[in-house]
Structure 1
Amino acid sequence: MKILQEKNTHPNMVNSSILESLMNQTSITPNMFVEYTRWTLIFLIVVGFGFFICFIVMIFNAFFKSPRLRDSARYVLFLYMLINDIFFISLGFYLLLTAVYGVKIPVPLCYFLYTLSSITFRVTPYNLAAMALEQYVAICHPLHHVLFCTTNRAHAAFTAICSMLTIPYAVELYVMISSLTNIFNLYIVCRQEFLLVNPVQYVIRSANLILCFSSVAFIILVTYIKISLVAHRVSSKSSSASKAGRTVMLHAIQLLLCMASILSMLTESLPIKQFEVLPTANFLVFTCLPRFLSPVIYGVRDETLREHMKRSLPRWFCNIFGSNKEKVSR
């Protein structure tokens, strides 16, 4: 009887093992698809960042070879913005990888990296406001431009912006310490929401974000109106006032590109948690692409910077374009 029972149960056991293996195969396939998609997005981020670095190297080369660019407060601020964007994307990419793959780090280190990432995120809008004010002084108060808009004042302005932005995070750190929590002894996946131990922190972060973008938008709007009024008086499309007005409008577009990063917070709050590649896709679309496009648009549009960048290009690259132009003319 035992032998018969074994013979009868044996095919069922084989069938069940086959079904389990098939179920395991079908359960692995979606995970592999998600992983392949995530690595594709990471590859696009790395490639885009590589082109971004190459473009910035060209700008650096043009900047340090041209005394005219080095002595201009506008280009000094622009260079600071590029350096800041490099730090912001690098820190954001590191924090993304640690969050996606669940790497736990000490809370003090996490808060330090989060603070640096947040400060570099907010430096760019204030830098755009400083560049807009420089344009305003150059057009509306040209006699004071040489006095106020110097390279030393540009360095001081950038230092003041960074110092001012550390204040809210120092207050937030004080709130965390005074909350009598042992969070600083823990190892966590470094995400912003995991550092919230007191509702006051959410108020500080929201107020800081609203103040940043509203004040910068107000400065850019006022400077654009003032410069446009001067350009209207001159009534010449080729005047420096008209060019300055278009430049300030470009700063407004750059500000909108920076604000695109906020959309990632909104999309990640949607009830689609099963879409595991969403954080990586958000980082590529809403964080990297705006930062990649912003200096490219500014660098290509600015005539002075564009001419110096052409001189810094390799000779073989210029010869290729030169030969193409000759073929077209023929």
Structure 2
Amino acid sequence: MNSTELNTGITLIITYPGWLFRVTISFLMTLFFIIFVYFTIIILNVFFTTPQVRETARYILFIHMLLNDLVYLLISFMLFTFSGYNIRVTVPICLVISSFPGCMFRITPYNLALMSLERYTAICHPLRYAELCTAQRSGLAIVYMWTVGTIPELSNVIAYCCSVDPRTFNLNVICDWRSLTVSNAQVVIKTFTDILSFSMVGLIIAYTYVKVMLVARRMDSKASKAGKTVLLHGFQLLLSMLSFTTTLTETYLMTYFTFLPYINFFLVMSLPRFVSPLIYGIRDEVFGKAMRKFHLGRMLSLCSRK
């Protein structure tokens, strides 16, 4: 058990599960992360070595989501390790580090919405697709995503700085959301932005799915496949929304189940991002073919050595 006291009159008591459980979760996280990086490297190799792919809006957005999830998992795993093994950092460093995964957490659903709109444009407005879905517009959309995603985190940092005693910044704390949430304003900012973001993204995905499937009834299998892709975006959004349950469960059930943060982090926060390169890589014709070719080449290389 560990007690963290801030100069705001708030004392946080954090209990940690046994070392064997922590080592097991850490091992599983590391294993899945290595697999994730392995497939990500293959996909990135195809993207950067194929000029036609680099100029396609859907692939630009997909690679952006992949890199966003990669950095998100890397930083989150680092913070998870710090928390699990009681490693403390100063408050200013914690504020900076924890702001990145908070921003990237919102970037993923924004990216899913744009990918759904790209498929909607390709199927429902094919004559304007070349005009609307260019590499330059995709880059501008990514900049806009980051701008919108950064605003809530900056607001959260400002609210924290205005709520604590200046001496708090000299403290060493366990870097997690419990240590940095000290005012109702922070809770309101997080709740409002998360609900608004996921609601808007959900409406966009639902709208594009209905429109694409209506066209699919009258057209070929390409529209039907696009509808399935949009539906897949909706499924990913649903998995992301499960993360809202982590705050609730860790607030009310943490006393009875000390391992909840570890389970939540692995199953709810990380696992949906681990499967992205597998799902999209295998389903996509370009990336799927490259993966099969890469693994076939590896198998032939091993057989020739024998």
Q: TM-score range by the shorter chain?
A: 0.7 to 0.9
Q: Structure 1 residues 171 and 88, CA, compared in 2 at 3 Å: closer, same or farther? A: same
SS of 2:217 mapped into structure 1: helix
Q: Which amino acid aligns with 2:279?
A: I
What are the equivalent positions in structure 2 for 1:43-62 lying under 5 Å apart?
43-62=27-46
Contact 2:94 2:175 in 1 (8 A): yes
Q: How many residues align?
A: 288
Q: Is it true that 1:168 corresponds to 2:138 in the alignment?
A: no
Contact 1:257 1:291 in 2 (8 A): no
- In our comparison, the structure showing a higher alpha carbon Rg is 1
Residue 249 (structure 1) aligns with: 231
SS of 2:89 mapped into structure 1: strand
Q: Is it true that 1:289 corresponds to 2:274 in the alignment?
A: no
Q: Deviations over 1:152-184 (max 9, x none)?
A: 211221111011111122222222333362232
Q: Is it true that 1:199 corresponds to 2:184 in the alignment?
A: yes
Residue 283 (structure 2) aligns with: 301
Residue 245 (structure 2) aligns with: 263
Contact 1:260 1:290 in 2 (8 A): no
Q: Which amino acid aligns with 1:247?
A: T
Q: Is it true that 1:38 corresponds to 2:22 in the alignment?
A: yes
Q: Which amino acid aligns with 2:90?
A: P
The range that moved more, 218-227 or 178-187, is 178-187
Q: Which amino acid aligns with 1:132?
A: S
Which of 125, 130, 133 is residue 146 of structure 1 equivalent to?
130
Q: Is it true that 1:103 corresponds to 2:87 in the alignment?
A: yes
Percent of pairs with identical residues: 40
Contact 2:69 2:273 in 1 (8 A): yes
Q: Which amino acid aligns with 2:199?
A: S
- TM-score scaled by structure 2? 0.87
The range that moved more, 203-212 or 303-312, is 303-312
SS of 2:255 mapped into structure 1: coil
Q: Deviations over 1:199-249 (max 9, x none)?
A: 111100100110111111111001111111111232x4x2x2111111101
Q: Deviations over 1:77-126 (max 9, x none)?
A: 10111111111111111111111222221111111111101011111110
Q: Structure 1 residues 166 and 317, CA, compared in 2 at 3 Å: closer, same or farther? A: same
For the residues of structure 2 that align with 1:64 and 1:313, how far apart are their CA atoms? 19
What are the equivalent positions in structure 2 for 1:1-330 lying under 5 Å apart?
34-179=18-163, 181-182=165-166, 183-234=168-219, 236=220, 238=221, 240-273=222-255, 275-313=257-295, 315-317=297-299
Q: Which amino acid aligns with 2:169?
A: F
Aligned-pair CA distance for 1:259: 2.1
Q: Which amino acid aligns with 1:254?
A: Q
RMSD: 2.2
Residue 8 (structure 1) aligns with: none
Q: Which amino acid aligns with 2:129?
A: H
For the residues of structure 1 that align with 2:300 and 2:261, how far apart are their CA atoms? 40
> Which runs of 4 or more aligned residues in structure 1 lie more than 6 Å from their structure 2 counterparts after TM superposition?
none
For the residues of structure 1 that align with 2:23 and 2:163, how far apart are their CA atoms? 39
For the residues of structure 2 that align with 1:217 and 1:318, how far apart are their CA atoms? 45
Residue 21 (structure 1) aligns with: none
Q: Which amino acid aligns with 1:194?
A: S
For the residues of structure 2 that align with 1:271 and 1:320, how far apart are their CA atoms? 51
Contact 2:104 2:149 in 1 (8 A): no
